[in-house]
């Protein structure tokens, strides 16, 4: 993958980047600050959510956005796609949605000479950013259509594999309030999401500003700050950032301490039904690098692990029935284990 990029707002890759990653990181960080500001200008009161979403994308991963209706999840995804210069599509997941409605289908086609052949018609998944709206409303069969795409970045149809555009990100939304008529995401699919990002209600000042900004004359549309080429170069830079032994050991020890098979605390072994797997450790390793770059740092610190442990690990774990009955919380457990290792 080329590391060449100009990182001018909205410009494609046109010049060779300096060999020194520190200089490149300074330029990327400046663009990321502009990106955060542009998204925050349209999505008010969700600064932490915006940061975690950008961390996910910089890491090359997928995000699960969880929040009540009306908090701006769709606006957030659409705005982010425009600012990053990505081709985005949206699929509303419903109980009658079929896998082919997402991935595409083979149709029988006839040319002008009368010859018939099957032709693959790509579905909406062939984009750079797919919004899977209310993903838990579709059946498990339809949900599983995303598994190969999210992990291998290709779709198999009629024995033929079709590569997806790069970069490729799935941003799925889920309503935590209404669970009637929904299908819980299976553990294998939850593990594909790098971060689970919780959206809360904005504070009074941001809600007031939101009312004034959205109920008057239509404002300016988001402008592109990045391009897909610039984003892929930034993603490559994230993977080259060094990680100190202390941070690596903290990630390894944290993940292992939350597995009942290797936990040293008896209360953890009794409370956790299953813990985070190796993919969780990989996700956390990439996420702390991306957070460091987003903040203008060249290497992650234990504070990055503390900040990202819960959104990276909580959806990859489950409590036992007795622990849930006793009021145990995964968030509290993860925070306690991470703080003990910091």
Q: Is 327 exposed, middle or buried (0-12, 13-18, 19+ CB in 10 A)?
A: exposed
| pLDDT at residue 181 in the model | 66
| pLDDT at residue 18 in the model | 40
Q: How far apart are CA 241 and CA 231, in angstroms?
A: 16
Structure tokens at 60: 């090359």
Residue pair 102/156 in contact (Cβ under 8 Å)? The answer is: no
| pLDDT at residue 15 in the model | 37
What is the pTM (predicted TM-score) of this model? 0.87
| Residues facing 170 on adjacent strands | 130
- Identify the structural domains of the chain with CATH numbers, from first to last: 241-342 (1.10.8.80)
Residue pair 337/253 in contact (Cβ under 8 Å)? The answer is: no
- Residue 32's nearest CA partner among 65, 2, 60, 54 is 54
| pLDDT at residue 180 in the model | 67
Structure tokens at 163: 């590569």
| pLDDT at residue 3 in the model | 41
Question: Residue 3, CB half-sphere, CA atoms under 13 Å: how many?
Answer: 16
Instruction: Print pLDDT tens along the chain (342 aa).
Output: 334 333 443 333 333 334 577 888 888 999 999 999 999 988 888 899 999 999 999 999 999 999 888 888 889 999 999 999 999 999 999 889 998 899 988 888 877 777 788 888 899 999 999 999 999 888 888 888 888 889 889 988 877 889 999 999 999 998 877 666 678 888 888 899 999 999 988 889 888 888 888 777 777 788 889 989 999 999 999 999 999 999 999 999 999 999 999 888 888 899 999 999 999 999 999 999 999 999 999 999 999 999 999 999 999 999 999 999 988 899 999 999 999 997
């Amino acid at each position: 993958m080329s590391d060449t990029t100009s990182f001018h707002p909205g410009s494609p890759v046109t010049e060779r980047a300096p060999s020194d990653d520190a200089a490149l990181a300074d330029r990327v960080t400046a663009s990321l600050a502009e990106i955060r500001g542009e998204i925050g200008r349209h999505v008010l009161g969700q600064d932490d959510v915006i940061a975690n979403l950008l961390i996910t994308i910089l890491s090359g991963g997928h995000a699960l956005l969880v929040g009540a209706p009306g908090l701006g999840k769709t606006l957030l995804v659409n705005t982010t796609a425009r600012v990053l210069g990505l081709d985005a599509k949206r699929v509303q997941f419903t109980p009658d949605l079929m896998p082919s409605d997402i991935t595409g289908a083979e149709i029988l086609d006839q040319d002008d000479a009368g010859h018939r052949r099957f032709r693959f018609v790509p579905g909406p998944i062939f984009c750079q950013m797919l919004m899977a709206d209310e993903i838990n409303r579709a059946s498990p069969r339809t949900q599983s259509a995303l598994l190969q795409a999210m992990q291998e970045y290709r779709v198999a149809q009629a024995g033929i594999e079709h590569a997806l555009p790069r970069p490729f990100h799935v941003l799925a939304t889920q309503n935590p309030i209404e669970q009637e008529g929904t299908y819980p995401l299976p553990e294998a699919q939850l593990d594909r999401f790098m971060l689970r990002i919780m959206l809360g209600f904005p504070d009074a000042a941001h809600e007031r500003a939101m009312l004034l900004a959205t109920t008057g004359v239509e404002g300016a549309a988001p402008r592109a700050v990045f391009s897909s080429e610039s984003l892929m170069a930034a993603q490559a830079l994230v993977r080259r950032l060094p990680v100190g032994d202390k941070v690596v050991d903290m990630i390894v020890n944290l993940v292992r301490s939350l597995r009942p098979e290797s936990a040293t605390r008896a209360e953890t072994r009794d409370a956790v039904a299953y813990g985070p797997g190796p993919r969780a450790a990989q996700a956390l390793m990439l996420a702390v690098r991306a957070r460091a770059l987003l903040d203008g740092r060249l290497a992650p610190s234990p504070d990055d692990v503390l900040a990202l442990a819960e959104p990276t690990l909580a959806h990859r774990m489950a409590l036992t029935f007795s622990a849930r009955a006793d009021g145990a919380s995964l968030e509290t457990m993860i925070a306690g284990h991470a703080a003990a290792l910091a």
